[in-house]
A and B are shown apart, each in its own frame.
Chain A
Amino acid sequence: MDEQGIIYIVFVMMPVLITLVSSGSLGAGYSTLALVVALLAAVALVGLAFADFIVVPAVLRVLGIHFKLAKDYSITKSQDAIIKNINGIYYATGFLTANVFAYVFKAEMMEEDMDQKIADASGSWERSLMGLDFPFKFHVLSANRDVQKARDTLEGKRSYIEFQMNRMIQDQKTSDTELGEMRRKLNILQAQMDRISEGEKPISTVMYAETVAVGVTEKAALDNLNGQIERLQVALSSLDLQLMRVVGREVNTLFEFNFMLPDNYASASSYFDMQG
């Protein structure tokens, strides 16, 4: 969660905490109900904070609410596809995240066979597409980060971890496991700094795939879309990517990206949370 998210959650947790503390003021018999309400609200807030893309579509589905995004375009009740109806033919568009797994960037050592991986990448890509016979797009949204700023951030984190490690070593109670964990974090940061020193540029990317399916009814188009998304997942799974169907507000965001990209790094990063 980013800083803005933390500020939001601090504020919205206040009414919940006040309720927990003052539930007795509702009178005998009602204080327990007040506690239950406050706890449910706290659970819902945590759900919204970490998985809004599951919670909100589920609530909208229960309420039967769906959105018309623009002329000819609407989002489905399941919040996972955009529908366009042209002359009685339905075009359903769905999205799939295709980001490189986070663990790749958390490697403790720089990979030695990186050149081999780069050389094999184009072949793997072509092989994975070979069996696909439906339209799709694969997008890479990238923004270059300031090298000096990225390096300074990493240096700052490394200094902090070194400071923590020194304190742990002085403290006799620290276990080897905790110390090992800190060393691992330090190695990850060092590996990232080494990559920058070797000339790699720190960039932020969001990768996603988009596919369009056709049908004579909305249901037929959505059924075809689901089939295509599954086939796309299978085809791209050999590429070491985190493939996840996009649902909820990010479907609208990715739809808008076709005619309105973010024009700076800050606004690009504000669009994405868990799914991105």
Chain B
Amino acid sequence: METKVLMFLGLLLLSFIFLVAAVASPISIIPSPAKLLFLLFSMVFDLLAFASRYYSQYIFEILKQHRREVVLSEENAYKLSETGEAVIARKGEAYIATIYMSIPLYVSGSEMPAEERLEFGKQMGRLISINKEPVRYTTQMRVLNKDSYIEEIHDLITSSENEVVKLLGSKGPEGEIARLKGRIEMWSNILNSIGATQSLELVTYATVSASGANELEATSAVQQKARDLMSGISATLGVIPLLAVGNELIRLIEPEHSVPFTTVTEQITKRIEEEVI
């Protein structure tokens, strides 16, 4: 029997026990105030029993841990499969493997004539109805990762500044110092303009999951589902979907990859500078 059903029955039983104690016992044995207290307990357990339909896991952990920060899990939410093309998560005893497929769709409805737009709309309608089992289609707008570019510019500025300090110390040629200062200003300006605006990119992908008794079984099942789905997408849209693997897969899941680290810190620094000024 499912855990949540067991919890429901257990809580309901507790509710009935307190209820019987409250309404069926004579007042000579249990006085009225105690009966009222039992009735309150009965109603609380009754409410918990109903809430257990959706909140069994939470109720269990709240009752077990007795603290305000209730830890449902300390482990990673998922892990990458050995092949790197699926993420594996556990739900109870089952393993659930999930595959992400990017759909390279680079068309814009606004640039199409009316007939093409209609056909494109119908293609989209067909796309979401090609599968019998649940599939998630996603359009994601994310901040373009300019981390490496920003770091490169920072390095250039630092090295130029070091050279200036060295030349100033050895009383080097003024022309060279002015040239280096000009270069620092140029790179600083570029850095400012990069940090001031975000560059965004739009990606589309499909996600599908399958469960199994172990990792291998779940991965094989999801790979089969993904193959079927990819052929369906390919036939409907005329593009070949690609499996997201490794880092690209993580980029589609983790929030920090939607807004890359250096880009964020650059923007936060800019915002603070602006506020201070």
Residues in chain A within 8 A of chain B (CB atoms): 4-5, 8-9, 11-12, 15-16, 18-19, 22-23, 25-27, 29-30, 33-34, 37-38, 40-41, 44-45, 48-49, 52, 56, 63-71, 73-74, 84, 86-87, 89, 91, 93, 115, 118-123, 125-127, 129, 132-144, 201, 203, 205, 212, 214, 216, 249, 256-265, 268, 273
- Do A26 and B36 touch (CB < 8 A)? yes
| Separation of A97 and B25 alpha carbons in the complex (Å) | 50
17 A-B pairs in the complex with CB atoms less than 8 angstroms apart: A11-B49, A19-B22, A26-B32, A29-B32, A48-B47, A71-B77, A89-B268, A118-B121, A119-B118, A122-B124, A126-B108, A136-B141, A144-B129, A214-B259, A260-B89, A263-B211, A268-B134
Which B residues lie within 8 Å of A67 (CB)? 58, 61, 69-72
- Do A122 and B128 touch (CB < 8 A)? no
Q: Does B187 contact A (CB under 8 A)?
A: no
Which B residues lie within 8 Å of A139 (CB)? 136-138
Which B residues lie within 8 Å of A122 (CB)? 108-110, 112, 117, 120-121, 124
Interface residues contributed by chain B, number (CB under 8 Å): 89
Query: A257 is contacted by which of B23, B69, B136 (Cβ under 8 Å)?
Result: B136
Q: Does B160 contact A (CB under 8 A)?
A: no
| Separation of A137 and B203 alpha carbons in the complex (Å) | 9
- Do A138 and B132 touch (CB < 8 A)? no
Query: B139 is contacted by which of A70, A137, A142 (Cβ under 8 Å)?
Result: A137
What are the 9 closest A-B residue pairs judged by CB atoms, nearest first? A122-B109, A118-B121, A27-B32, A135-B258, A261-B209, A70-B77, A259-B78, A41-B43, A119-B118
- Do A34 and B39 touch (CB < 8 A)? yes
Q: Does B96 contact A (CB under 8 A)?
A: yes
Closest to A74 in B: B69
| Separation of A8 and B75 alpha carbons in the complex (Å) | 33
Q: Does B255 contact A (CB under 8 A)?
A: yes
Residues in chain B within 8 A of chain A (CB atoms): 8, 12, 15-16, 19, 22-24, 27, 32-33, 35-36, 39-40, 42-43, 46-47, 49-51, 53-55, 58, 61-62, 68-78, 87, 89, 91, 96, 98, 108-110, 112, 114, 117-118, 120-122, 124-125, 128-143, 198, 200, 207-211, 253-256, 258-259, 261, 264-265, 268
- Do B75 and A70 touch (CB < 8 A)? yes
Query: B258 is contacted by which of A5, A22, A49, A212 (Cβ under 8 Å)?
Result: A212
Which A residues lie within 8 Å of B108 (CB)? 122, 126
- Do A66 and B69 touch (CB < 8 A)? yes
| Separation of A190 and B84 alpha carbons in the complex (Å) | 49
- Do B132 and A143 touch (CB < 8 A)? yes
Which B residues lie within 8 Å of A9 (CB)? 50
| Separation of A249 and B220 alpha carbons in the complex (Å) | 30
Which B residues lie within 8 Å of A23 (CB)? 23
| Separation of A136 and B143 alpha carbons in the complex (Å) | 9
- Do A66 and B46 touch (CB < 8 A)? no
| Separation of A137 and B139 alpha carbons in the complex (Å) | 6
- Do A64 and B68 touch (CB < 8 A)? yes
Q: A65-B70, A142-B134 are in contact. Are A41 and B46 (CB under 8 A)?
A: yes
Query: B70 is contacted by which of A4, A66, A141 (Cβ under 8 Å)?
Result: A66
Q: A118-B118, A118-B125, A140-B128 are in contact. Are A133 and B198 (CB under 8 A)?
A: yes
Q: A66-B70, A118-B122, A123-B110 are in contact. Are A25 and B96 (CB under 8 A)?
A: no
Q: How far is the CB of B179 from chain A (nearest CB, A)?
A: 37
Which B residues lie within 8 Å of A212 (CB)? 255, 258-259
Closest to B9 in A: A11
- Do B265 and A89 touch (CB < 8 A)? yes
Closest to B210 in A: A263
| Separation of A228 and B40 alpha carbons in the complex (Å) | 43
Which A residues lie within 8 Å of B46 (CB)? 12, 15-16, 41, 45
- Do A15 and B42 touch (CB < 8 A)? yes
Which B residues lie within 8 Å of A8 (CB)? 8, 50, 53
- Do A119 and B259 touch (CB < 8 A)? no
- Do A26 and B23 touch (CB < 8 A)? yes
Q: How far is the CB of A18 from chain B (nearest CB, A)?
A: 6
- Do A126 and B110 touch (CB < 8 A)? yes
| Separation of A273 and B265 alpha carbons in the complex (Å) | 40
| Separation of A37 and B259 alpha carbons in the complex (Å) | 50
Which B residues lie within 8 Å of A256 (CB)? 77, 89
Q: A48-B50, A122-B110 are in contact. Are A260 and B16 (CB under 8 A)?
A: no
- Do B143 and A25 touch (CB < 8 A)? no
Which A residues lie within 8 Å of B74 (CB)? 68, 70-71
| Separation of A165 and B247 alpha carbons in the complex (Å) | 61
Which A residues lie within 8 Å of B89 (CB)? 256, 259-260
Q: A19-B19, A69-B72, A139-B137 are in contact. Are A4 and B261 (CB under 8 A)?
A: no
Q: How far is the CB of B97 from chain A (nearest CB, A)?
A: 9
Closest to B136 in A: A141
Which B residues lie within 8 Å of A273 (CB)? 54
Q: How far is the CB of A241 from chain B (nearest CB, A)?
A: 14
| Separation of A175 and B76 alpha carbons in the complex (Å) | 62
Which B residues lie within 8 Å of A140 (CB)? 128, 136-138
